[in-house]
Structures are given as C-alpha cells and as structure tokens.
Amino acid sequence: PTDSTDPTDTVDLPGLPRERGCPFDPAPGYAHLRESAPITRIAFPSGGSGWLVTRYEDVRALLADPRFSSRLSAAAPHVRTAVAALPEPLPGALLRLDEPEHARYRRPVMRAFTVKRVQQLRPRIQQIVDERLDAMERAGGPVDLVAELALPVTSLVICELLGVSYDDRETFHGLAGRLLAIESSPEEGQQARAELASFIAALVAAKREKPDDDLLSTLIAEADADPDSPLTDIALTVLGSLLLIAGHETTANMIALGTLTLLEHPDQLAALREDPALADRTVEELLRHLTIIQFGLVRMATEDLTLGGRSIRAGEYVVASLPSANRDPGLGIEDPDRLDITRTPAAHVAFGYGPHQCLGQQLARAELQITLTSLFSRFPGLRLAAPAESLPFRDDMLIYGLHQLPVTW
C-alpha cells in the first residue's frame, strides 16, 4: 500500500532505499521507484511517514514550489529522529527559512560567492593546493588523502574567506562530524550546534572589536552602517556557523570521492590527463554522478496540493531525492548511469534547485577543478594504498564520501 491515505499507518511501508550496490551509485531501489512509483509513501525511522520523490522533473518542481517549506530541513526525519526536538529556526538559518525572510539573509552573503568573486580567489586556492601537495610529496606515500589534502584545502579556503583561524580546525572538524552523523541524537545535535554558535559568536565579537578584510568583518561593517540590516549578531553567528560547516565538509568529500572515482575509472582519468581543459566537465559530471547529499532534501507541504498527480496534505513531509533525480533519464542525457567526463554538462541538481540552491557552488567548483587537476598532474602514478573493498565509505553521514582514502604514488 504505497499510497496509504492514513499517514500514521506505516506498518507495511518500506523505508528510504539506503543499501548501495556499488559505492559510486545510489541504492538500486531508486531506479525501480522512478519507473513504478515516482512519488511514493515511505516510513521514517522514528515512526510516521512521508513522501519520496525520485524523478528529476518532480524534484525540480518540488524544490521550486513556495508551497513547500524548508523549516524542517535540519531534522532529516527520513534518516534520523529529530523532528520533535527541532527548535524554531534562528535568524540567518538560511537552510530553514522560507521566503521572503530567507532572501533577506541570503542576499548580503551571496555577494561574496558570485562567479566573479570566486574567480578572484582562484590564484590563492591554487597556492593553498600547491602547498598541500608539496607537503604530501615531502612526507612520501602512503598518505590519507582526506586528512592531508581534501580537508585542509577546503578548511583553509573557507577559514581565510570567513576570517576563522585554521588553528581551530580540530574544534570545527569535530563539530561537523557530530552534526552530520545520522546516528546523532537530537540532544547531541543541539549540543553541537550550541558549541559551534558560541565559537562563532566569540569570533563575531572579536571582529567587531578588530575588523580585518574577511567576510565576517565585511558583513559586520555593512550591518553596522545600515539600521535596516537584518544582520544582527545572532544572524551573523548563525550564518557564520553555516558557512564554516557547509563550506568545508561537502567539498572535502567531493575531492576524496572524486579522486577515488577517477582512479577506479582509468579511461576517464586518461581522458582528463590528455585534455586538462576537460576539468570543468569532469567536475560537473562527478557532482552529478556522485550526488553526495545522499539522502536528499526534506520539505513540508504548507497546504493541501498535488505534485506529479499525487495528493499531498498540509503538514506532510516530502523527500526530494537528489541522487535519484541525477540518474533519471528525464535529466535529458544519454545513459545517465554512466560516468562520462566528456559529455556536455547536465543541468543536474547536486547543488539543489530553487531559492535554496547552494550558495557556495562556484567556490566548490573552483576548489574541485584546481585540486583534482593539480593532484593528478603532480602525482601521475597516484594509486590506492589499500584494497578498494576495504575503504570506509560514509554511509553513516548525511554527506556521503570517504572517512579516509589511503593513497600512494
């Protein structure tokens, strides 16, 4: 009974497909659902149920539709228990705010992440990447690519941009782990959020005292100069926390998983080596193929409505599966399950879609392009230093990737 009309009757409902066959592909259950039940009811681990949306067209329609609210997005009720304990969204919590409030906070931050601004950051990103590659070369293999390259590069970049000290990396790396583990309890999540907020609040106070030429200082100055600015200290703290965590975890996992994917697809790696101008396409295709926001995004219907022919009631949760949408033939590309770095980039949804579409996507692209091309040109003999079957994939985290990636050259 996949379209049970009683939302509390979850006895016979399946859960979200989670069991991957191949580590680079979404769970096989999604392909079947796209064909047979593209909008279907699923049971949530904490009891209750919601809708799972698996087709590209429906996912985009859902994410662009203002009748669906983002307020619950931090709860991830389809993979962990946290809905009841979720507090009201704070000012500046972009991921959880709806229009028009959302846009008021997004607009001032967006200016720092445009194509043009990121273009200006590229030489500095290249320098950071080169320094990490020098350090790897000095140390000699084998090394853990996550600890020695992926995390340092993305953390250094976002630290410099925001004005956070890289010396504090252990603090915020630990907090990211606690926030993103699917086994974290609501209390653990709340505790980690509070610790992160007090860390950033102290920083906001310090920047107000002694401004620098970083993003936090710029936002503080703008807020202080404009009596109508929504950027209160609380909003700045919440925004800073979001940027710090979203800004390093996601891209670091794409670097590690993207590296492994290319090592395991030697024909694709050879094509990139032969023509480094394929870097842009490679990154776009890896983003699509791997879709590391592995459990998708959650929205809540604010009124009774229909989506893709299904009736959805006010208050019901709907999960937009980004990994499934990015493998849907409806995306309009040939053989969407195949990794092909030479194809014309697809209009994928790896960064989401609609008003919440990833604010840091240009930065993520630049970091990925620079890191992947520099890594493979510095170490032409790069290879795994452990059997592929033994690698620790992040099936236990909201953001997919690898806990470690041992490589040598």
The answer to whether 68 and 54 are in contact (CB under 8 A) is: no
Which residue's Cβ lies closest to ligand HEM?
A: 360
List alpha helices for 95-225, DSSP H: 101-110, 115-139, 145, 151-162, 169-180, 186-209, 215-225
The region of 14-22, 245-253, 305-313, 331-339 touching ligand HEM under the rule CB under 6 A is: 245-253
Of the candidates 288, 290, 268, 289, the residue with the CA atom closest to the CA atom of residue 278: 268
CA distances to 16, 29, 99, 310 from 33, rounded to whole Å, are 11, 6, 31, 15
- Single residue of 49, 155, 250, 374 touching ligand HEM by CB under 6 A: 250
Closest contact distance (angstroms) between CB of 250 and ligand HEM is 3
Site string for ligand HEM, 253-282 (x = CB under 6 A): -x----------------------------
CA–CA gap between residue 160 and residue 395 (Å, rounded):
30
Do the strands 406-408 and 143-144 form a parallel or antiparallel pair, or are they unpaired?
antiparallel
- Of 11-19, 170-178, 244-252, 330-338, the window that binds ligand HEM (rule: CB under 6 A) is 244-252
Grouping H, G, I as helix, E, B as strand and the rest as coil, residue 7 is: coil
- Report, in Å, the least distance between residue 322 CB and ligand HEM: 6
Tell me the number of residues near ligand HEM by CB under 6 A.
25
The span from the CA of 95 to the CA of 74, in Å, is 8
The answer to whether 318 and 356 have CB atoms below 8 angstroms apart is no
Judged by CB, which is closer to ligand HEM: 184, or 250?
A: 250
Q: Which of 272, 297, 372, 398 binds ligand HEM (CB under 6 A)?
A: 297
Report whether 109 contacts 158 (CB < 8 A). Answer: no
Q: In the complex with ligand HEM, which residue's Cβ is closer, 236 or 363?
A: 363
Residues 78-97 that bind ligand HEM (CB under 6 A): 94-95
Q: How far is the CB of 213 from ligand HEM (least distance, A)?
A: 17
Residue 308's identity, in one-letter code, is G
Q: What are the E-state strand segments in 183-342?
A: 297-301, 305-307, 310-312, 317-320
Closest distance to ligand HEM from the beta carbon of 289 (Å):
12
Q: Select the residue interacting with ligand HEM from 18, 106, 173, 403 (CB under 6 A).
A: 106
Reading phi first (left if > 0) and then psi (alpha if -120 to 50, else beta), residue 315 is in left
- Cβ 83 to ligand HEM shortest distance, Å: 16
Residue 55 half-sphere exposure, CB side, CA atoms within 13 Å? 17
39-43 β-sheet, strand order = 39-43, 49-53, 317-320, 297-301, 68-69
Least Å distance between CB 36 and ligand HEM? 26
Measured CA distances, 143 to 66, 381, 404 (Å): 47, 14, 10
User: How far apart are CB 343 and ligand HEM at their closest, in Å?
Assistant: 19
What angle separates helix 169-180 from helix 186-209, to the nearest 10 degrees? 150
Place of tokens 């099936």: 395
Write out the binding residues for ligand HEM, residues 113-132 only, by CB under 6 A: none
| Segment 305 to 364, residues that bind ligand HEM, using CB under 6 A | 350-352, 356, 358-360, 363-364
The minimum distance between CB 197 and ligand HEM, in angstroms, equals 16
Quick one: 10 or 151, whose CB is closer to ligand HEM?
Answer: 151
Q: Work out how close the CB of 247 gets to ligand HEM at its nearest, in angstroms, rounded to a whole number.
A: 3
Nearer to ligand HEM, 133 or 153 (CB): 153
Interface residue with ligand HEM, options 54, 73, 217, 324 (CB under 6 A) = 73
Q: Which of 217, 251, 282, 324 binds ligand HEM (CB under 6 A)?
A: 251
Measured in residues, the chain has a length of 409
290 touches ligand HEM (CB under 6 A) = no
Residues engaged in binding ligand HEM (CB under 6 A): 70, 73, 94-95, 106, 158, 242-243, 246-247, 250-251, 254, 292-293, 297, 350-352, 356, 358-360, 363-364
